[in-house]
Amino acid sequence: MNKTSVAVMVTILLVGSTIYAQAPKVSHIWPDAGMNEGPVPAHVYGANFESPSISSVKLIRPGFPEIAGTSINVLSQEYLTCSLDLTGNSTGPYDLVVTSDSGSDTLPRCFTVYAASVSPYEWVRTTVVIADSQMRGVAVGDGDGDRGIEVYGANFDRYVYQFKWDGIGWAWDTLGSGLHIMQGVAVGDGNDDNEIEVYGANQMARIYQFKWNGTTWTKTALTGAFDSMEGITIGDGDADGNMEVYATGWDGYLFQFEWNGANWINMTIGSGADFMSAVAVGDGDGDGGLEVYTTNYDGCLSQFKSTGMTWTMTTVDSVEREMLDLALGDGNGDEEVEVYVAISDRNIYQYKWNGIGWVKTVVGSGTNWMDGVAVGDGDGDGVVEVYATSYDDSIYQFDWDGIGWVKTTLGSGGPLWNVVVGDGNNDGQMEVYTTSLDGTIYQFKPGVVGTEEARTFAGYFSFAPACNPGRRRMVFTLTVPQASNILLKIYDVAGRLIDIPAEGRRSPGVYEIACTSEMSSGVYFYRLESTWGRKTGKFVLIR
């Protein structure tokens, strides 16, 4: 072979490698949060993870130092591991960027760095909002793309709401409504455009996407389902490196909604004998690939795995009681993912793959149905726990101590329904958020021992709208450190007295005061007279 032929072949090979080498795609990271006091072993999923061409794995937050992954180990085209040293890094949501010789890809706001909570502590319950209708679903994330974290709620009144902590109180915004009850809500990049959206599961066989354009929320309906939508999640369930939206229906079907750049493509993945209640995406069996998991009222926990062409359904477990919710995570701290399920027999169960089959273990129980389950470091001690809500109005923490599960009751509301762990008030620490069928979203947060008593009875006075603007009715929160006469008056913009929600002597304690008069949408003013002086302010009511 002459030199010319060799040169031509080398050129062809180089051009071919350029054509066929593809940039990496990143679609999932586990864990999705870590404390800024040490390294975290990270598991990253996606596609086109060519070895050894992966040059970097980084967590990026504009204005702050990058967190570079070390000890990168590419185990397959879809899976790699690395170590992320979070020591001393700023708290908040980070983007994950994976780079190779062929390009890079970003998974936006997928990892939260947080700081340790106070210790010793006791659980303090705070009301985020009191709505007129049942709060069904709750999610935590950067839904409006402002690099902060907010709380999102799906309500029985057909609306999805955003609750943002402004340093004083929770500001309430309406994203939009559906044709019927909103059952669930999820936050993530469902259409794979490197931006975050909010998705609501609606009882009228639709999924709605709510996207912030910098000025307002735009709504898009994802259609193609046959019955009421119940559970919803966002992830790369078919392990192709792209993000999709997954939803479960009352007709027993599991649906995938995938954006192709022009339209939403709907696919039916599988079904059960009764209506599917919950859905999650993750590497539940630890095989280095992502799967979809669902619970069903027929008592089945199912795994759906994509072969690239078809979906394979495997029954993980089948019981005689309704399975209501599930979550994936390392709840027992062994650096492996397990599946946790809430069942109507009052128990939370762990399902762990041992390489041959699924091992089922009882985590703990309540005194009524277990409705919701979440996995995360809700008490900010650097150890992940399992959290569960029950129809007995209580929320529980189950902490693995190396021998058994230690059960702690965080508090009550009720009846409590959904639960999630995250930094919903953007203060750099983790909290636990729950929804209640009485219309409330609660925050449970570790506080200094004696905090509630100190704030309530030792000179700490506070008064503010519980949420501003208020929807349908206005509620105020009042903390009285010692017995005092209280007078609260409401005026319209013309200065006319509209309502006197509170008048008379109040004992020490924490109160929620609601306006009692019929009030139309508009701007109003409040004036509070107490031992601690006069406090005035403005609020907006939306009917």
Which long-range CB contacts under 8 A does 530-538 form with residues at least 24 apart? Answer: 530/461, 530/463, 530/480, 530/484, 530/485, 530/486, 530/487, 531/482, 531/484, 531/485, 532/461, 532/484, 535/463, 537/464, 537/465
Residues 418 and 494 in one domain: no
Phi, psi at 460, each rounded to 5°: -100, 105
Top pLDDT among 188 and 536 is at: 188
Q: Which helix (H) or strand (E) holds 14?
A: helix 3-20
Ranges 48-57, 230-239, 452-461: which has the least confidence: 452-461
Average pLDDT, the chain: 88
Residues 355 and 252 in one domain: yes
Q: Say if residue 253's pLDDT is above 70.
A: yes
CATH code of the domain in which 97 resides: 2.60.40.10
Instruction: Kindly indicate the confidence band of residue 17, based on its pLDDT and cuts at 50, 70 and 90.
Output: very low
Mean pLDDT to the nearest integer, 6-17: 42
Instruction: Kindly indicate the confidence band of residue 450, based on its pLDDT and cuts at 50, 70 and 90.
Output: low
Q: Say if residue 489's pLDDT is above 70.
A: yes
Q: Which residues are paired to 323 by β-bridges?
A: 343
Structure tokens at 511: 């109160």
**Closest listed residue to residue 250, CA positions, set 186, 310, 183, 349:** 183
Instruction: Kindly indicate the confidence band of residue 478, based on its pLDDT and cuts at 50, 70 and 90.
Output: confident
Mean pLDDT to the nearest integer, 17-43: 88
Q: Which helix (H) or strand (E) holds 517?
A: none
Q: Is 451 helix (H, G, I), strand (E, B) or coil?
A: helix
Residues 92 and 236 in one domain: no
Instruction: Kindly indicate the confidence band of residue 12, based on its pLDDT and cuts at 50, 70 and 90.
Output: very low
Asked if the structure places residue 2 within a domain, the reply is no
Instruction: Kindly indicate the confidence band of residue 516, based on its pLDDT and cuts at 50, 70 and 90.
Output: confident
Asked if the structure places residue 442 within a domain, the reply is yes
Residues 109 and 159 in one domain: no
Q: Say if residue 407's pLDDT is above 70.
A: yes
Ranges 114-128, 151-165, 430-444: which has the least confidence: 114-128
Residue-wise DSSP of 50-81? -TTTEEEEEEE-TTS--EEEEEEEEEETTEEE
Residues 407 and 349 in one domain: yes
Measure the N-to-C terminal CA separation of the chain; round to a whole number of Å. Answer: 83
Mean pLDDT to the nearest integer, 89-105: 95
Contact 258, 267 (CB under 8 A): yes
Ranges 203-212, 366-375, 434-443, 459-468: which has the least confidence: 459-468
Structure tokens at 125: 């319950």
Residues 59 and 142 in one domain: no
Q: Using alpha carbons only, what angle is made at residue 243 by residues 237 and 248, rounded to the nearest 5 degrees? A: 50
Residues 45 and 67 in one domain: yes
Asked if the structure places residue 130 within a domain, the reply is yes
Asked if the structure places residue 71 within a domain, the reply is yes
Say what the pLDDT of residue 297 is. 92
Say what the pLDDT of residue 14 is. 43
pLDDT, one tens digit per residue, over 139-162 is 999 999 999 999 999 998 899 999
Say what the pLDDT of residue 3 is. 40
Say what the pLDDT of residue 459 is. 40
Q: Which of 423, 448, 473 is the last residue of a domain?
A: 448
**Closest listed residue to residue 373, CA positions, set 414, 417, 407, 330:** 417
State the Cα–Cα distance between residues 412 and 393, nearest whole angstrom: 5
Asked if the structure places residue 16 within a domain, the reply is no
Top pLDDT among 33 and 5 is at: 33
Task: Print the domain residue range for 502.
Answer: 462-541
Q: Say if residue 454's pLDDT is above 60.
A: no
Say what the pLDDT of residue 13 is. 41
Top pLDDT among 79 and 450 is at: 79
Looking at residue 353, the DSSP 8-state letter turns out to be: E
Q: Are strands 470-471 and 533-542 parallel, antiparallel or unpaired?
A: parallel
State the Cα–Cα distance between residues 268 and 262, nearest whole angstrom: 20
Q: Say if residue 330's pLDDT is above 90.
A: yes
Q: Using alpha carbons only, what angle is made at residue 513 by residues 508 and 518, rounded to the nearest 5 degrees? A: 160
Instruction: Kindly indicate the confidence band of residue 127, based on its pLDDT and cuts at 50, 70 and 90.
Output: confident
Say what the pLDDT of residue 352 is. 98
Ranges 364-378, 399-413, 516-530: which has the least confidence: 516-530
Ranges 182-191, 192-201, 297-306, 500-509: which has the least confidence: 500-509
Say what the pLDDT of residue 357 is. 96
Residues 158 and 280 in one domain: yes
Asked if the structure places residue 15 within a domain, the reply is no
Q: Which of 403, 421, 448 is the last residue of a domain?
A: 448
pTM of the complete model: 0.82
CATH code of the domain in which 332 resides: 2.130.10.10
Selection from 216-225, 394-403, 475-484 with the highest mean pLDDT:
394-403
Residue 60, classified by CB atoms within 10 Å of its CB into exposed (0-12), middle (13-18) or buried (19+), is middle
Spell out the residues 6+ positions from residue 272 whose beta carbon is closer than 8 angstroms to its own: 252, 294, 296, 298, 300, 302
**Domains contained in the chain, number:** 3
**Closest listed residue to residue 353, CA positions, set 405, 421, 301, 422:** 301
Q: Is 5 helix (H, G, I), strand (E, B) or coil?
A: helix
Say what the pLDDT of residue 7 is. 42
Say what the pLDDT of residue 227 is. 67
**Closest listed residue to residue 528, CA positions, set 493, 491, 473, 481:** 491
Say what the pLDDT of residue 537 is. 82
**Closest listed residue to residue 173, CA positions, set 158, 159, 187:** 159
How many whole angstroms from its chain centre is CA 54? 30
Q: Which of 58, 82, 114 is the last residue of a domain?
A: 114
